[in-house]
Amino acid sequence: MATSSEVKAGLDEISAMIKASRQRLVSSKAMIGTQETNLKAIPTRFSEVLSTIDGYGTTDVFEALCKAELAKMTAEFLALVADATEAVTDLGKRTEF
């Protein structure tokens, strides 16, 4: 059985862990929101590059490779944006941590 001082020390440690976790969650919420915004800016920021690739054909090796890479990146991008949006939405339901 723990002594009174061990119990008090344990409660202090629990409190410190909860406080640290709360601070990290608040910080994470802000960081996820920022990254969601950054991701959503990609199509606008790189619109000229994306438009150029959209005009490429598939007979030229370079153009075909660019189209293939963009297709792979687009799938990854869409999944990541969806995950980020879901995380922001879920965390947004929490008014405070």
Instruction: Count how many domains the chain has.
Output: 1
Q: pLDDT category, 89, cuts 50, 70, 90? A: confident
In a domain, 1, yes or no: no
Q: Do 55 and 67 touch, CB atoms closer than 8 A?
A: no
Closest alpha carbon to 69 in 61, 38, 83, 35: 61
In a domain, 48, yes or no: yes
In a domain, 46, yes or no: yes
In a domain, 61, yes or no: yes
In a domain, 7, yes or no: no
Read off the pTM: 0.74
Structure confidence by residue, pLDDT tens digits, 6-58: 999 999 999 999 999 989 988 988 899 899 999 999 999 999 999 999 999 99
In a domain, 9, yes or no: no
In a domain, 22, yes or no: no
- Residue-number span of the structural domain to which 62 is assigned: 29-92
Amino acid at position 78, single letter: L
